[in-house]
Amino acid sequence: MKILYQDDHFVAVDKPAGLLVHRSDIDRHETRFAVQMLRDQLGRRVFPVHRLDKPTAGVLLFALNPEAARQMMAVFMGDSIRKTYLAVVRGHTAETDTIDYPLKEELDKMTDAKADPDKQAQAAVTRYRRLATVELPHAVGRYPSCRYSLLQISPETGRKHQIRRHMKHIFHPIVGDTTHGDGRHNDFFRAHFNCHQLLLAATGLVFTHPYSGAEMNIKAPLDPVYSRVITELGWGHLFADS
């Protein structure tokens, strides 16, 4: 995997879409995991300090020892870390908005068998800013054309599938989301753009380094498929200097 940053305590990589962070009973058939791949690549143990969903690409941070992992997890539990995502969603959204909508924990029958199904919804806040829109002359569903927005998204909390669930909640699901998305628009992107992945990417991570005190700003480029789709939608100029 491409290394975005590395020092004596931490290493950040650009996780590809479709790669699990670590082994999971949910995907028993999978044989490739970011933890094992990076361990083999560096020749040492690594400790993930946060997670990205399997279909989400982008910045993934690991600690290089247990103490660094504890220090960094404390940073993630606080309110000083800033995470930035880029998403293509169905429809034309507002220019900016804050989605403040509590989420009940999503439970998996295999991995969360002992979890409390009656646990109350937890606070969840997501902010976004619209970067661009497009309307294409293709009928998808009952409308003669289809509309999409490009969003910069900043979650303020870290609930499971938070961004994907919040975008569904405001009726602007992320393109390529097979769980919380719109199948008709997913099919359109597969057929028209040859895009078979979730168009959600973790593009930036900003935090204060727990050892040096320096502000860290780690960025990940869009992968080739995402970048191509952005260009074909007419938004390539937004990333010409990145």
In the chain, the amino acid numbered 4 is: L
pLDDT tens digits, 165-189: 999 999 999 999 999 999 999 999 9
Lowest mean pLDDT among 41-50, 107-116, 231-240: 107-116
Q: Percent of the chain beyond pLDDT 90?
A: 80
The pLDDT of residue 32 is 80
Q: Read off the pLDDT band of 78 (50, 70, 90).
A: confident
Report whether 99 contacts 125 (CB < 8 A). Answer: yes
Active site residue 53: yes
Enumerate domains of the chain plus CATH numbers: 2-239 (3.30.2350.10)
pLDDT for the residue numbered 29:
66
Q: How far is residue 99's CA from residue 41's CA, in Å, rounded to a whole number?
A: 39
| pLDDT on residue 19 | 93
3-class SS letters over 27-41: HCCCCCEHHHHHHHH
Q: What pTM was estimated for this model as a whole? A: 0.92
Single out the catalytic residue among 14, 53, 177, 182. 53
Q: What is the DSSP letter of 5?
A: E
Residue by residue, DSSP assigns 74-143 as HHHHSS--EEEEEEEEES---SEEEEE--BPPP--TTT-TTS-TTPPPBP-EEEEEEEEEEEES--BTTB
Residue carrying the six token digits 């769980």: 179
Q: List phi, psi (to 5°) of 98.
A: -120, 120
Within 8 A by CB and 6+ apart from 19, the residues are: 32, 33, 34, 37, 54
